[in-house]
Structure 1
Amino acid sequence: MNTIFKTVRSSDVSISQLMLPSHTNFSGKIHGGFILSLLDQIAFACASKFSGNYCVTASVDTVNFLRPIEVGELVLMKASVNYVGKSSMIIGIRVEAENIQTGEINHCNSSYFTMVAKDKEGKNALVPGLILSNFEEVRRFQNCLKQIALKKERDSQKNTADFGSIESIMNSNLYNVKLELG
């Protein structure tokens, strides 16, 4: 365990960017891949700021696209460390889009990235402990504990899961699938 502790607030990072036509997908909305790239950048900045080390993305645990983002909106991303392990951190990111003409702000995305701190040799580096200063920070930390437990449970069941026989798939109305095995 590390004897250095930092507050959640010390990890806070926010970025904003105007959404341009060059950021769109084929339907004219902001491309999800562009948003993912920005999410990865802010997760890196947040984790590096908190840990004092170079950080890498270990996993993107959740990305919930809640509403599309339009060209001309100002996107604001806010990130903070929600959980720390020995060398890993879970970064929570909230994405809001503001219509700069009307001032209307909408929550568009919530994301959770697991980042790992690295030392100069590329080995995992210890990260500071986390000081939880209010009930919202405690709630976020507890949610991370639930996420970690669910992830471990999923991983342990991957090899033992029984998804049913071919016959049960063919005779079921549960799946929208047609088997045409050659």
Structure 2
Amino acid sequence: MLRKQKPVQDSFVRMTELVLPNDTNTLNNLMGGRMMHLMDVCAAISAQRHSNRIVVTASVDNVSFREGIKLGSVVTLESQVTRSFSSSMEVHINVWAEDIPSGTKIKSNEAFLTFVAVDQSGRPIDVPDAVPSTEEEIALYEGALRRRQLRLVLGGRMNPHEATELKALFELE
């Protein structure tokens, strides 16, 4: 049976937040936990748009904080599903920090999050196939299986010898 298909651009989300005093640490920078919360919310909305289901966060890949985001900055998060599997979806997110008075904007974070669609009882449920259309969407889609296998191996949920997409990375001639 063919699964329903859905364009990845239908899952696009852009969220904008102002960094307020309650969001900052003692150095007046956005707290890392607050940033991760915003990233999780934005990416979850993308996964919900793609699946039309309740979603739960399954994993977050390597969130690195490049520079502190100062009090008063505007934070813009953009996310989109890159690929879906049976019940899971990989979501790519970019985060920018903008200092409006100075006119500067920097990319502060980038990550991949995985969500699982669940039914009302909390059991995983099938999601539509993600269909990429732009060059960037296609590149992210093509790398998603490799990233998924790496997550599963590192999480102890897949035997490294079964990770077909990873073998080429580690085989020496």
Q: TM-score, normalised by structure 2?
A: 0.85
Residue 53 (structure 1) aligns with: 53
Query: In the alignment, is the contact (CA less than 8 A) between 1:73 and 1:97 conserved in 2?
Result: yes
Residue 125 (structure 1) aligns with: 125
Q: Which string of whole-angstrom CA distances, capped at 9 and with x for unpartnered residues, describes residues 48-87 of structure 1?
A: 1110000000111221222211111100000000111000
Q: Which string of whole-angstrom CA distances, capped at 9 and with x for unpartnered residues, describes residues 85-143 of structure 1?
A: 00000111100011111221100000111100011222111111111102211111123
Amino acid across the alignment from 1:139:
A
Any gaps of 5 or more consecutive residues in structure 2? 161-173
Amino acid across the alignment from 1:116:
V
Q: Alignment partner of 1:58: what SS?
A: strand
Residue 11 (structure 2) aligns with: 11
Note the aligned Cα RMSD (angstroms): 2.2
Residue 75 (structure 2) aligns with: 75
Give the alignment of 1:83-102 within 5 angstroms.
83-102=83-102
Deviation of 1:145 (Å): 2.1
Range that drifts further, 18-27 or 143-152: 143-152
Query: In the alignment, is the contact (CA less than 8 A) between 1:2 and 1:126 conserved in 2?
Result: no
Query: In the alignment, is the contact (CA less than 8 A) between 1:67 and 1:108 conserved in 2?
Result: yes
Range that drifts further, 78-87 or 60-69: 60-69
Deviation of 1:28 (Å): 2.0
Q: Which whole-Å CA distance do the structure 2 matches of 1:109 and 1:2 have between them?
A: 36
Q: Which whole-Å CA distance do the structure 1 matches of 2:12 and 2:2 have between them?
A: 21
Q: Alignment partner of 2:39: what SS?
A: helix
Range that drifts further, 39-48 or 61-70: 61-70
Aligned residues: percent identity? Answer: 33
Q: TM-score, normalised by structure 1?
A: 0.81
Give the alignment of 1:153-168 within 5 angstroms.
153-155=153-155
Residue 164 (structure 2) aligns with: none
